[in-house]
Structures are given as structure tokens and as C-alpha cells.
Amino acid sequence: MSVPRAGASPRTVGARPATGFVSYIDAADIDAQLRNDALEGLTSINKSLPSKWFYDERGSQLFDEITRLPEYYLTRTERRILLDRADSIAKHTGADTLVELGSGTSEKTCILLDAFRRTGYLRRFVPFDVDADTLSFAAAKLLGTYSEIEVRGICGDFERHLETISQPGRSMVVFLGSTIGNLDPLQRASFFDQLASSLKPGDSFLVGVDLVKDVAAIEAAYNDSMRVSADFNLNILSVLNRRLDADFDLSRFRHLARFNPDEECMDMWLCSTQDQVVRLRAIDLEVRFKEGELLHTEISAKFRKEGFEEELANAGLEPTRWWTDAGQMFALSLSHKP
């Protein structure tokens, strides 16, 4: 949710020293990045905002609701694959450390933790997330369930702090939820390069990827009948209103999400329903919108096996396993660093 300064030093958080919790982010970093992103994105010819700013408390609650909707197949399908394949993943990798990027509450990761505990290898879990409060809560909860392992939380941004995830022993880095799809091709290439550099030979990478499929099924997941996705999309304006003293009128924008067949991704926008002027007082910015003008808020790429594994290989990661559900809706990709 923020991109702190490169080379930031860690701060040990004393509230929960048992977790070994460290932070590479502070409030000033977050505020500065939001200001920069808003200024750059809202003054561009094609207006845009990074999707990471969806996730304030309200945005996180809305996304949790989205994952439970009948149209949103991603979460339940990924969970089903994990339940079916977790033991195979644990035995195949032989990892004693799990590192989860964008860990949140680590609910799905508990499926993997249980499987790795059954192998007798599990020694350490490293949840990595941008939200310190969520990390502290999740780490404390996990310590209660997995009291025999070390839990070391890292508060950081995976676009800037991947070098901090290297751990002793053999690690498996986990990146679930098809969050990888929120990165464009250049961002993904940079992410894979940084990840490969942070891994040791023998370490592995497990990532959830949403697959190209029937367009109607994809679009329904982002245009649910309860309009929770619309509320989630609009919430990014509420974040700017609160944190940048802006005066967006949410009723003057509508949610728009559709599949881009050329790029094989979902694009999500907010469409201005009238000519209007919005002021962001905290950054002394006035933004004019024309009726019908679009504000881009999210990309969600959909993948094919061959193309995705080629991206991994280009970064020096060797694909080893590919698990899907019966309907070929979603996949878990496992690769390792030779």
C-alpha cells in the first residue's frame, strides 16, 4: 500500500518482540507516496491511481466481502487447489521456512503451514505485508496455533523490499490471490528479477495465477450483482477525500470493469458521469473531469501456462509444477531457483 524510500532501514517494533517483527515503512513514507501517486496520476492525460490505495480499513472489509461472492471464483478456487495439493507442495519443496508476500491475515496460508508441519520440516514462518497492524495481529494469532515455530513478521513493500526476505535454511516464497496480476508486464519482470535475486539456490516460489477463460465468467467477478465491487472501486476516492482533503462526490462517478482481449486482462475504471472539478487541498491540486472521462484504478492480468512460465524462466526461475482445478479456472505455479 506504499512505496517507501529505497534503502530504508528497519525499525524493530517492540509491541510484539516475540515475533521478531521489523518494519521498513513509516507513516511519512506512506503519506509521501500517496501524494506523489495522486499528483502524477491525476495530472496525466489518461488519469489513473495505483490499486494499492484501495486498501484502507473500509477497502479491506469490502474486498473480504468480494471474496465471498458467488461470482468471485478466484479465492474459493485457489483454496480448493491448496487443500488438494498442500501435502505435495510441502514434500516436493522440502522447505523449512515459508515466506508469504502480501500475507494479510494468512488464512489460506494455514493450509500450507499445516502441510509443512506434517512433514516435520517447518521451522519458520515470515509473513510480509505493508500493514503493520494486520501483521501484528496475524503474527500473534499464528504464534498461538504454531507455537513450535518462529514467526518473524516483516512490514514492507514487495516492490521495494524483496531483498529483506532471505532466510536461513530452505525457503518457499508464497504469493497467493493472483495479486501478481495487478502488475503490468514491466512491473512483473522487475518483480521476478528482484525475487530471483533474493532467493538462494534450492529455494522455491509458489504463486496463484488467474487463467484466461470464458470472458463472461471473468467480467462477472468484477461486476457482481450486489455491487460490492463497485463500492470497492469507489472507495479509492474516499481514501483521497480523507487523506488528501479532497472533495470527490462519489455519486458523480460510476464503476466500470471490462476485459481487454488484446492484453488478456481486466481493466477497472471510475467513469465521471458529468463535467466536474475536484479539489485535493492537501496537495493544492484542482482536477477537471469531462463527462464520460475515465480514471483507471486497476489491472488484473489473466495468464496462460506457457506465457507465465516463460516470464519466470526469463528471471532465472525454473518452473517445476503447475496445478489447476477441474474447470481450468485458476492455477498454482511452483518454480525454484537452480
What secondary structure does DSSP assign to 36-103, as a single string?
HHHHHHHTSSS-B--GGGG-SHHHHHHHHHHHTSTT-HHHHHHHHHHHHHHHHHHHHH--SEEEEET-
State residue 139's pLDDT score: 78
| Number of C-beta neighbours around residue 186 at 10 A | 8
235 shares a domain with 209: no
Q: Is residue 11 part of a domain?
A: no
Q: Is residue 99 part of a domain?
A: yes
291 and 312 Cβ atoms separated by less than 8 Å: no
State residue 204's pLDDT score: 98
Q: Is residue 3 part of a domain?
A: no
Q: What is the number of structural domains in the chain?
A: 2
State residue 181's pLDDT score: 97
State residue 287's pLDDT score: 98
User: 239-258 b/e with 16+ CB inside 10 Å = b?
Assistant: bbbebbebebeeebbebbbe
State residue 126's pLDDT score: 93
287 shares a domain with 207: no
State residue 249's pLDDT score: 98
Measured in degrees and rounded to the nearest 5, phi and psi for residue 225 equal -70, -25
Bridging pattern class, strands 318-324 and 330-336? antiparallel
185 shares a domain with 110: yes
74 shares a domain with 57: no
Cell 517494533, located at residue: 13
Q: How many distinct helices (H) and strands (E) make up the chain?
A: 9, 15
250 shares a domain with 309: no
Q: Which residues, other chains included, contact 230 with Cβ-Cβ below 8 Å and sequence gap of 6+?
A: 223, 254, 255
12 and 22 Cβ atoms separated by less than 8 Å: yes
Task: Please give the chain's pLDDT, 338 residues, in tens.
Answer: 333 222 334 443 333 334 577 888 888 888 999 999 999 999 999 999 999 999 888 998 999 999 999 999 999 999 999 999 999 999 999 999 999 998 776 778 899 999 999 999 899 999 998 877 778 877 788 888 888 899 988 988 888 889 999 999 999 999 999 999 999 999 999 999 999 999 999 999 999 999 999 999 999 999 999 999 999 999 999 999 999 999 999 999 999 999 999 999 999 999 999 999 999 999 999 999 999 999 999 999 999 999 999 999 999 999 999 999 999 999 999 999 99
Q: Is residue 291 part of a domain?
A: yes
Bridging pattern class, strands 204-210 and 330-336? antiparallel
Question: 145: part of which helix (H) or strand (E)?
Answer: helix 132-145
246 shares a domain with 165: no
287 shares a domain with 323: no
Q: Nearest-5° angle of CA 139, CA 141, CA 146?
A: 85
Determine whether 138 is exposed, middle or buried from the number of CB atoms within 10 Å of its CB (0-12, 13-18, 19+). Answer: buried
77 shares a domain with 64: no
Q: Is residue 209 part of a domain?
A: yes
Cell 518494519, located at residue: 23
CA dihedral sign of residues 306, 311, 313, 319: negative
| Number of C-beta neighbours around residue 208 at 10 A | 24
CA–CA distance from 127 to each of 10, 130, 209 (Å)? 15, 10, 20
Q: Is residue 33 part of a domain?
A: no
329 and 213 Cβ atoms separated by less than 8 Å: yes
238 shares a domain with 254: yes
64 shares a domain with 74: no
State residue 309's pLDDT score: 98
Cell 507455537, located at residue: 147
115 shares a domain with 155: yes
- Write down the pTM of the prediction: 0.91
59 and 239 Cβ atoms separated by less than 8 Å: yes
143 shares a domain with 87: yes
- Coil, strand or helix: which one is 221? helix
- Give the residue numbers spanning the domain of 310: 17-28+70-213+304-336
State residue 44's pLDDT score: 97
